[in-house]
A and B are shown apart, each in its own frame.
Chain A
């Protein structure tokens, strides 16, 4: 349970600090999505409601701090959870390959849904090739970054994911 609270706090700190480097740079559309990685990591250990609450809370904080569509990121991170949850049925996220595929897919779909939400709610936004390109790069980089975070969290918490998963079965 301590891991759950630590990652909640880490998620909050990440969101609050993100604005410092994400804004006003050439890579402003680039988004290394640690929250998505945390959600995927949680799926290994906790039930739907606990992970759903985490996704909901982290998304809500972004919505409050940002001038975007209200509820947009709350919905997006709930979506990320479901993509990871369903992705786990197809791929083994205890394996590096599964982590990369599932998390890349979740982040990419998050970007895609974000795009459609902006269109649906008629925000006057201008989409550029750089946005599309950065979305794909963000998804891939986040996917490839995930195994390192998983390894780090496992190491810090002294967890053997495979043993735990085998035990839970």
Chain B
């Protein structure tokens, strides 16, 4: 009897490990998207994530706006209550003003793009710390599709890599798996922008004869098939010509502040990429 139980436990383990290995083996060059099971999990978990984010934000606000004032309130309770109320009200207005300004910037930016756009909010970030992606609160039901470009008021944010009915995953340009075809605005040289999983990106294949210098502005070339031409990407922050290397080492500071990514715009432009499926069969 004990032998039979051990035998069945062994089979369950084989099944679990095989399933994990099967998932691992389904990574042909990372060009994968959410399958039906993934979509189900995301649809199930994302509302919790959204709820948690809102709760944390509320608690943060509550803590900062209320508990910090408890000691002072002891001196003059009535006055403190009034100040608290006004402060919370003021914070709400400041928050609303900030949101309004950000949305106004987004609207201005919207006018510069010749494609329809859809605003979305970031509800979650990649939990590994190693890869750089975010989950947004819009999905297929809002017209989102794979590889649609994502921007904010300042410039390029990334592209959609997975999409479910109500949510989508955006691969940020700072991820090491991301590559964006760009040009240097001043010299019109073509370059590839690669992420380095921190706040700095680098330019690949910059030839020694290139005239790129610090301060040059990098914009999308429109050749990659994902991003429309001329979207701001970043500013060259460091150039080094290393002896013995084929290419120059160039670092770019993205124009987007990825640590404060809240509202984004999805450009509703279907991709021309051939190696990325636009529709999951």
Contacts and interface: CB of A to CB of B under 8 A. Distances in A.
Interface stretch (A48-56, A98-106, A146-154, A155-163): A48-56
B24 A71 contact: yes
Majority-rule SS of B interface residues: mixed
A108 to B, nearest CB: 16
B196 interface: yes
B133 interface: yes
Given A19-B125, A30-B129, A65 B135 contact: yes
A75 B169 contact: no
B56 interface: yes
Interface stretch (B9-17, B81-89, B223-231, B238-246): B9-17
A53 B26 CA distance: 21
B236 to A, nearest CB: 19
A123 B195 CA distance: 13
A67 B126 contact: yes
A31 B26 CA distance: 26
A74 B13 CA distance: 13
Given A17-B56, A123-B177, A67 B132 contact: yes
B127 A15 contact: yes
Given A12-B48, A62-B127, A69-B30, A126 B196 contact: yes
Given A61-B41, A61-B45, A126-B176, 16 more contacts: A13-B48, A13-B52, A16-B45, A16-B52, A20-B124, A23-B126, A24-B259, A28-B198, A48-B13, A49-B12, A52-B13, A64-B38, A66-B133, A78-B20, A124-B177, A126-B197
B131 A68 contact: yes
B128 A78 contact: no
13 contacts: A12-B45, A12-B48, A16-B45, A18-B127, A19-B125, A28-B130, A29-B130, A53-B16, A66-B128, A67-B126, A71-B20, A71-B23, A71-B27
Contacts of A62: 127-128
A23 B198 CA distance: 9
Nearest to B49: A16
A61 B48 CA distance: 13
A99 B225 CA distance: 52
Contacts, number: 142
B174 to A, nearest CB: 9
Contacts of B9: 47-49
B4 to A, nearest CB: 14
A119 interface: no
B68 interface: no
Interface string A50-93: 00110010011111111111111111001000000000000000
A75 to B, nearest CB: 4
A121 interface: yes
Contacts of B129: 18, 22-23, 28-31
Contacts of B259: 23-25
B208 to A, nearest CB: 22
A117 to B, nearest CB: 7
Contacts of B176: 123-126
A17 B48 CA distance: 10
A73 B259 CA distance: 24
B7 to A, nearest CB: 13
